[in-house]
């Protein structure tokens, strides 16, 4: 039976500093995500969801399998969308045009996304997704939920579980969210908008 593997990071563990420290990456990827992968592999055998893709599992499973599969998918999208910091890091091309079309401006999109991340109560994720018509939407998802569960195609996500930022920012979630714009790999987000998962 298929065993899920811990995704390799597409950058060095210190590459996102100072926005996300090497220590946070070490715990978040090397401990938290690794535990979700391990839990999923332990829980799946013998269930009705063996043999499904990760996305299908997130849409169909329940209980512990759903929680761990959701966290694996969410974190693969999260860690796959970053690149070393750039102060002038902004989207371009088709992606920028779609953000202007649906939010008024790139800056308005960023302000709304950050606000949704800031006001999400408890542990969860804020997402930018495309709906079935290609319109871009922001949603808050609690715990391990993913927008594919409501028929959306996820493009970008910020993890607002405290384990994502507490070592570096303690309670300052707003500062963490503001800093993340420096490390978003907009080309990766654009590839997702064009239809790919990564």
Stretch that binds Mn ion, among 50-58, 131-139, 153-161, 180-188 (CB under 5 A): 153-161
CB of 193 to Mn ion, least distance (A): 23
Name the residue with the smallest CB distance to Mn ion: 159
**C-alpha–C-alpha distance, residues 93 and 97, integer Å:** 6
The contact mask relative to Mn ion for 104-143 (x = CB under 5 A, - = no) is ----------------------------------------
Stretch that binds Mn ion, among 15-23, 111-119, 126-134, 151-159 (CB under 5 A): 151-159
Counting Cβ atoms within 10 Å, is residue 122 exposed (0-12), middle (13-18) or buried (19+)?
Answer: exposed
Stretch that binds Mn ion, among 96-104, 131-139, 159-167, 189-197 (CB under 5 A): 159-167
Which of 161, 165, 181, 186 forms a contact with Mn ion (CB under 5 A)?
Answer: 161
CA torsion through residues 126, 130, 131, 137, sign? positive
CA 70, distance to chain mean position in Å, is 11
- If the CB atoms of residues 110 and 160 are measured against Mn ion, the closer one turns out to be 160
């Amino acid at each position: 039976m298929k065993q899920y593997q811990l995704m390799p990071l597409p950058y060095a563990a210190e590459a996102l500093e100072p926005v996300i420290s090497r220590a946070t990456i070490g715990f978040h990827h090397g401990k938290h995500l690794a535990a979700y992968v391990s839990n999923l592999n332990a829980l799946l055998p013998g269930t009705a969801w063996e043999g499904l893709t990760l996305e299908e599992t997130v849409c169909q499973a329940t209980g512990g399998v759903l929680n761990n599969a959701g966290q694996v998918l969410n974190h693969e999208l999260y860690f796959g969308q970053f690149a070393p910091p750039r102060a002038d890091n902004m989207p371009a091309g088709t992606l920028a045009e779609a953000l202007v079309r649906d939010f008024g401006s790139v800056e308005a999109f960023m302000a709304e996304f950050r606000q949704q991340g800031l006001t999400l109560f408890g542990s969860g994720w804020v997402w930018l997704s495309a709906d079935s018509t290609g319109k871009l939407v922001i949603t808050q998802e609690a715990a391990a939920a993913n927008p594919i569960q409501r028929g959306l195609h996820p493009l970008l996500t910020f993890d607002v579980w405290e384990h994502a930022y507490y070592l570096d920012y303690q309670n300052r979630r707003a500062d963490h969210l503001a800093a993340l714009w420096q490390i978003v790999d907009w080309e990766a987000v654009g590839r997702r908008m064009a239809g790919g998962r990564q």
